[in-house]
Structure 1
Amino acid sequence: METLDKATHSAHEAFDNIASAASQAAEALGEKGEQLQHAEKQLVENCRSYIRGNPITSLGIAVAAGFLLSRLLSGR
């Protein structure tokens, strides 16, 4: 019985360690997700600000990007 108790105790410890590691990983991923969302919002705001300040240049960039995409995706 003592061996069974030791094995059970070891299994519980291993499970607790795995659960703790999984919890820490989930927390770290949640923090990184929040950081990515903040970075995305900042990037969108920077783009909007640039477009407001440089509408003609922005239009030229959009036309050039559309032209390049159409050439790449045309399949010729």
Structure 2
Amino acid sequence: MNADTASTNPFPTSAEQSGTSGSGGLNGDANRVRRIAQSLHEAVDTLEQKIGEGGERMMGLQEEYGNMAREQVRSNPLAALGVAFAAGFIIAKILR
């Protein structure tokens, strides 16, 4: 270990922290960590709520369009078969 890294410890012990004055010591760091953790927790809760709402909306759209597709296939089975064959043929040509 060289002299530069020995003089500044990136992970000070409690004894080293208590010797510093004006920085608030470990209590100040703990309070700052709690505030950061609380703000991150609130952000995660907000994100979770928004994702949940978006997921519910997507499930509703999927169900609606799924029902419309079923109705179309039931009313025109030959057309649906032709469209599926054409889509498969085109995808096969592209991937070849």
* Counterpart for residue 36 of structure 1: 58
> Identity, % of aligned pairs?
23
Q: Please tell me whether residue 10 in structure 1 is matched to residue 32 in structure 2.
A: yes
Cα RMSD (Å) of the superposition?
2.0
- The TM-score, its normalising length taken from structure 2, stands at 0.63
| TM-score computed with the length of structure 1 as normaliser | 0.76
Point out where structure 1 has 5 or more consecutive residues left out of the alignment.
none
Count of matched residue positions in the alignment of Structure 1 and Structure 2 = 74
Divergent runs of 4+, >4 A = none
Question: Mapping of 1:15-26 within 5 angstroms?
Answer: 15-26=37-48
* Structure with a larger share of its residues in helix: 1
Larger CA Rg, structure 1 vs 2: 2
CA distance in 2, matches of 1:67, 1:30: 38
Higher relative contact order (CA 8 A, sep 6+): 1
Cα distance in 1 for partners of 2:30, 2:93 equals 65
Query: What amino acid is the match of 1:13?
Result: R
| Stretches of structure 2 lacking an aligned partner (at least 5 in a row) | 1-17
